[in-house]
Amino acid sequence: MISIGNDIVDLNAINKQRTADTRFYSKFITPAEIELHDPAIATLPLQSFVWLLWSVKEAVYKYQKRLNPQLVFAPIKIVVKQITVPALYNAAQFNSDSWEGSPNHNDFCFGCATGNGQTLFFKTIIHQYYIATIVSNNSLFPHVYWGVQRIANGGHQHQSQLVRTFLLNKLSSVFIKQDLALQKSPVGYPVLLVNNIEACMPISLAHHGLFTSYCFQLNLQGL
């Protein structure tokens, strides 16, 4: 069974003072992970580093939850092993705060993380307003599509509705003239229905503050 995971953090919706407090981030970041924030990646501010790791851990959990419905989120047990930051890292490099495409951009941060005996790969956009991550078991992210959208209303119901619309609009270009719908699995991850039949295609949704994000992996044999 294939899976995928994503997460997004609105950097205007976090407590910046708490982010810099060791007592806060040590709850989900291990001492070994803190060592990754060294002079080699000094261009990455501590705030961005902390929330990059959080988004990776959330995305890893979503990936694994699809495969193991009994899994409980324990971020300290998901360990980021390696982070590569672009040499010319600049949080303002993405001109738009909404984005869609495949995760092969050279300006993404990337690396790997382990959890529950599994190694997974991530790619992360560090924007001046948000941090967005996707996770796969393949470092090349084949047939993976990703989107980030800024919204006007940060209410939970509004976020949930708009991220689903955002994804369905993209999927309508894949499943042309098909009846598409999304529903939740019994443990909470999203499921795509095509003509009322569950599609064998993993999708993941995320929202926080004024940002939403989707990702999915096309199962070409199942189309």
State residue 97's pLDDT score. Answer: 82
Residue 109: Cβ-neighbour burial (10 angstroms; 0-12, 13-18, 19+): buried
Residues 212 and 138 grouped into a single domain: no
pTM, entire model = 0.94
What element of type H or E holds 81?
strand 79-84
Which among 123, 148, 173 is the end of a domain? 148
Which among 115, 132, 148 is the end of a domain? 148
Q: What is the per-residue pLDDT across 175-197, written as a single tens digit (0 to 9) for each?
A: 998 999 999 999 999 999 999 99
State residue 40's pLDDT score. Answer: 54
192: left (phi over 0), alpha (psi -120 to 50) or beta: beta
What domain range includes position 174?
A: 150-218
State residue 219's pLDDT score. Answer: 72
**CB distance 100 to 163 below 8 Å:** no
Residues 160 and 136 grouped into a single domain: no
**CB distance 207 to 214 below 8 Å:** no
pLDDT at 201 over 50: yes
Q: What is the per-residue pLDDT across 49-91, written as a single tens digit (0 to 9) for each?
A: 999 999 999 999 999 999 999 999 999 999 999 999 887 777 6
Residues 49 and 139 grouped into a single domain: yes
Q: Quick one: which of 101, 107, 4, 99 has its CA closest to 59? A: 4
For residue 24, give every residue at least 6 positions away whose Cβ sits within 8 Å of its Cβ, in sequence order, or none: 18
Count structural domains, the chain. 2
Q: How far is CA 193 from the centre of its chain?
A: 22
